[in-house]
Amino acid sequence: MALTPDGYLLTSAHVVSRAGEGTAAFADGRELDFEVIGADDLSELAMVRVHADVDPARLGDAAALRVGQLVVAVGSPLGMAGSVSAGVVSALGRSFVTSAAAMAAVASVPRTSSSPSTTEFTVVSLPAGGPATAVE
């Protein structure tokens, strides 16, 4: 997910595990080389940077999330681009350690820097770096 127009991207840590660089594929067909800025296995988040202009994602208001709200996660598990999983916000304000190896993933979506929400998804395989978004 593109965070800034100057090429900072957020992905899952397991996607770039132990890599210093790689190639990011975009929906518009571009493939751009990236460098890993940092990764955190406990939060399962990584920051990478491409040296190109990108359109950043429009982020919603995490404070507006509600238990029971429908959400969608987009990713590319095992290289299957465009995979989509639907789920529901099951709790707010929880913190826990994630495991990238889980077949049924429980993902943490930050509500504030210290108060994540819990979103439950059943996925085909490993989640692969995609964002979760609320359904309106």
Please tell me the number of Cα atoms within 13 Å of 116 on its side-chain side: 14
The number of folded domains in the chain is 2
Same domain membership, residue 88 and residue 129? yes
- Tell whether the model's pLDDT for residue 100 goes beyond 60: no
Q: Measured between alpha carbons, how far is 108 from 87 in angstroms, rounded to an integer?
A: 13
Residue-wise burial string across 54-91, b where 16 or more C-beta atoms lie within 10 A, e elsewhere: beeeeeeeeeebeeebebbbbbbbeeeeebebebebee
Closest to 6 (Cα-Cα) out of 59, 58, 52: 52
Q: What is the pLDDT of residue 102?
A: 45
The model carries a pTM of 0.67
pLDDT in tens, 14-66: 888 888 899 988 888 899 999 999 998 877 889 999 999 999 988 878 788 88
Which residues is 87 bridged to in the sheet? 71, 121
- Domain of residue 41 covers 8-50
CA–centroid distance for 54 within its chain:
17
Co-location of 32 and 66 in the same domain:
no
Same domain, 39 and 87: no
Claim to verify: residue 75 and residue 35 sit in the same structural domain: no
Per the model's pLDDT, the better-predicted residue between 37 and 115 turns out to be 37
Biggest CA pair distance of the chain: 39
Tokens at 43, concatenated:
């939060």
Higher pLDDT, 88 or 52: 52
- 73 and 100 together in one domain: yes
